[in-house]
Structure 1
Amino acid sequence: MPTLLHHPLDPSTRMVRLMLAEYGVPVDLEEIKPWLREPDFLDINPAASVPVLIEEEAVAAVGLLATIFTIEERYAPSTVAGLIPTVGSERAEMWRLFEWVNGKFNDEVTRYVIEEKIAKRDQRGATPDTGVLRAAKANLQEHLLYFAWLFASRRWLAGDEMSLADFALAAHISTLDYIGDIDWEAAGEMRDWYSRIKSRPAFRTLLNDRVIALPPHAGYADLDF
């Protein structure tokens, strides 16, 4: 059984966990706080980032892209249809939005929220920077408007079929939802999409997450929210 080095609220590892659950792959979870830069973890990944997927007698998959391609290569063909479209134009749109979520959205929203609200909890005397959080909140609203505009004309993020782009966005949104940073009353089409993907069996692994001394926002685990 593979082992995934992860943090419960890290969006990249949440996406990997969704993939594994969707493909029916059991996995051992080993929690890491990458921002602590512990020596044993740095020996595995000097970049001090998760996810890292470890399997016996195989080279560890280090980082998001290495991990998702390892999962797609080893598990998708023998289980269910993969999350990467086979049609070129659909695949291009999926990768465009995958990059948007894990690049632009992460850099302008999620990364700041995690640094200020989660990582600083492990820094003596550190307190969240309200200015940074205000900027992240403003950026979040702009991104949600764009995603809602996309969902007004398509069932899933990149088209009519669910893809890896949906799992990427769901991973980030679920992290923010755990903390209580999503106003679902104003989310429009985003709420319908999240309700559908949140109801998938693969999502149960995320809805059961709990972080010590940081309980989830009310409604986080509810399918009817």
Structure 2
Amino acid sequence: MPTLLHHPLDPSSRIIRLMCAEYGVPLDMEEIKPWLRTPELLELNPAATLPIFMGEDDIAVIGILANIHTIEDLYTPAIVAGLIPPDPGSRAEMWRLIEWVIFKLNDEVTRYVLEEKIFKRDQRGATPDPAVLRVAKANLNEHMLYFNWLFATRSWLAGDIMTLADFALAAHLSTLDYLGDIDWGKAGETRDWYSRIKSRPAFRTLLNDRVVSMPPQKGYADLDF
């Protein structure tokens, strides 16, 4: 059985977990804290980033893009539509929005929230910086306006069918939702979309996540918020 080295709130790991759950791929899950930069992790990945996928050949697949392509190449079911559209135009839009999420949204919002609220828990005497969190919140508000505009013009993030771009955004927003950083009352069309994707069977593995001494915000696991 494949093994995934992950952290429950790492959004890149969550993308791979959603893909595997959607495709019916069972995983052995090994939880690690990449920010501790342990020798074991650095030996596998000097960048100390997640996810790391170990297939049956025990070769470590490092990083989100390599993981996406590996899962898609190995496990896309032949009897159902995959998460990557077959036509070039739809596929290009999907990759554009995946890039927006895993780079722009992550660099302007998610990584700051995780650094302040999660990573600092393992740093003696460190506490979250309210100024950093205020900037992340302001950036998130701008991103949500853009996502609301997209969902007002299409059924799914990249178009009229669900794609990997939806899983990418859901992975990041679910992490932020766990930590209580999304005001769903003001999320508009994005809230409606999230309610739909949150109800998929593949999402159950994420909704069951718990971080020691840090329970999720109220409503995190509720399908009706």
TM-score category by the smaller chain? Answer: over 0.9
In structure 1, C-alpha distance between the alignment counterparts of 2:151 and 2:200, rounded to whole Å: 18
Identical positions, percent: 73
The separation in 1 between residues aligned to 2:21 and 2:159, in whole angstroms, is 22
SS of aligned partner of 2:48: coil
**More moved, 21-30 vs 56-65:** 56-65
Distance in 1 (alpha carbons) for counterparts of 2:51 and 2:121: 21
Q: Which amino acid aligns with 2:205?
A: T
CA distance in 2 between counterparts of 1:114 and 1:100 reads 18
Partners of 1:43 and 1:168 lie apart in 2 by 27
> How far did residue 78 of structure 1 move?
3.7
Q: Deviations over 1:62-102 (max 9, x none)?
A: 11011110000000044632111111010010000000000
Letter in 2 for 1:139: N
Matched position secondary structure for 1:29: strand
2:177 paired with 1:177: yes
1:103 has 2:109 as partner:
no
Distance 2:105 2:56 in 1: 34
SS in 2 for 1:4: strand
In the alignment, the residues of structure 1 paired with residue 173 and residue 79 of structure 2 have an alpha-carbon distance, to the nearest angstrom, of 27
Residues 1:133 and 2:103 are matched in the alignment:
no
Aligned partners of 1:3 and 1:78: how far apart in 2?
Answer: 23
- Equivalents in 2 of 1:60, 1:86: separation in Å? 28
AA paired with 1:99?
E
- Secondary structure (helix, strand or coil) at the match of 1:152 reads helix
SS of 2:211 mapped into structure 1: coil
Compute the TM-score of the two structures, normalised by the length of structure 2. Answer: 0.98
Do the aligned residues in 1 keep the contact of 2:23 with 2:77 (CA within 8 Å)?
no
Distance between the aligned counterparts of 2:58 and 2:115, measured in 1? 32
The answer to whether the 8 Å contact 1:23/1:79 transfers is: no
CA distance in 2, matches of 1:66, 1:79: 24
Residue 207, structure 1, aligned to residue 214, structure 2: no
Instruction: Map residues 109-120 of structure 1 onto 2, 5 A cutoff.
Output: 109-120=109-120
In the alignment, which residue of structure 2 is the partner of 1:83?
Answer: 83
Normalising by structure 1, report the TM-score.
Answer: 0.98
1:1-225 pair list within 5 angstroms: 1-78=1-78, 80-225=80-225
Question: What is the one-letter code of the residue matched to 2:121?
Answer: R
Matched residue of 2:197: which SS? Answer: helix
Cα displacement (A) at 1:143: 0.2
- Offset at residue 129 of structure 1 (A): 1.0
Which amino acid is the alignment partner of residue 144 of structure 1? M
CA contact (8 A) 1:4 1:54 kept: yes
Q: What letter corresponds to residue 129 of structure 1 in structure 2?
A: D
Distance in 1 between residues matched to 2:65 and 2:187, nearest whole Å: 29
Give 5+ residue unaligned stretches, structure 1. Answer: none
Partners of 1:212 and 1:152 lie apart in 2 by: 38
CA deviation map 1:30-55 (0-9, x unaligned): 00100000001111111100000002
Aligned residues: 225
Q: Tell me the SS of whatever aligns to 2:162.
A: coil
CA RMSD of aligned residues (A): 0.8
